[in-house]
Amino acid sequence: MHTQGMIEVVCGSMFSGKTDELIRRLVRATIAKQKVQVFKPAIDIRYAIEKVASHTGSTFSAIPVQKASEIPARLEKDTTVVGLDEVQFFDPEIVTIAQTLAEQGIRVIAAGLDMDFRGEPFGAMPELMAKAEVVLKLHAICMVCGDDASRTQRLVNGKPARYDEPVVIVGASELYEARCRKHHEVPR
């Protein structure tokens, strides 16, 4: 059992296994008889409303919230581990909330995209990564060449999305694929 709070961040491109790793850590905490609660942005309804779900089919019960500020009020007294999925979709207040929870002795495990489809830092993730004690960056496999992929390519009608497209469009393999630096394209 952990004795002090901390922030752990699991990040990377789409299809890199972020949610699988989050779920793995949450299951281990549950096995260790720690009280776990998981929160996710209500915008993410791809697989299930009250679960975090990986592209491979793993799931874990979660509470959907509209804003990060809802999390403290929904936290049960004996919770020792808080999981956060799709952190890039939370508002910036998620950083303050994660820090406050860690200072209260809670282990915060946050997973999300570190970069948007443009290859730019995404939402609150850069600040959360900077303030975390532990950061794990995962890679997917480039769908063009098979090398390690660190970027998320958005596709529109099978072609790379233009830079001026909206940053947030929730989707999976029908809209996105993993790409390496060389094969990631964002036409202007």
With bands split at pLDDT 50, 70 and 90, how would you rate the model's confidence at 173?
A: low
pLDDT of residue 116 exceeding 80: yes
pTM above 0.95, yes or no: no
User: Lowest mean pLDDT: which of 26-35, 36-45, 74-83, 90-99?
Assistant: 36-45
Q: Round to whole Å and give the CA distance between 156 and 127.
A: 30
CB-based contact 154:175 (threshold 8 Å)? yes
Using a 10 angstrom Cβ sphere, with 0-12 exposed, 13-18 middle and 19 or more buried, the burial of residue 172 is exposed
pLDDT of residue 20 exceeding 90: yes
Q: Round to whole Å and give the CA distance between 24 and 43.
A: 23
Tokens read off for 174: 């029908």
pLDDT at 47: 62
Assigned CATH topology for domain 6-138: Rossmann fold (3.40.50)
Residue 40, CB-side half-sphere exposure with 13 Å CA sphere = 26
pLDDT of residue 22 exceeding 90: yes
Q: Round to whole Å and give the CA distance between 116 and 102.
A: 26
∠ CA 14-16-18, nearest 5°, is: 90
Mean pLDDT over 19-34 rounds to 96
Sketch the domain layout of the chain as residue ranges.
6-138
Under 8 Å CB-to-CB from 165, ≥6 apart: which residues? 117, 154, 156
With bands split at pLDDT 50, 70 and 90, how would you rate the model's confidence at 54?
A: confident
Q: For the chain, what is the mean pLDDT?
A: 92
- Catalytic machinery residues: 86
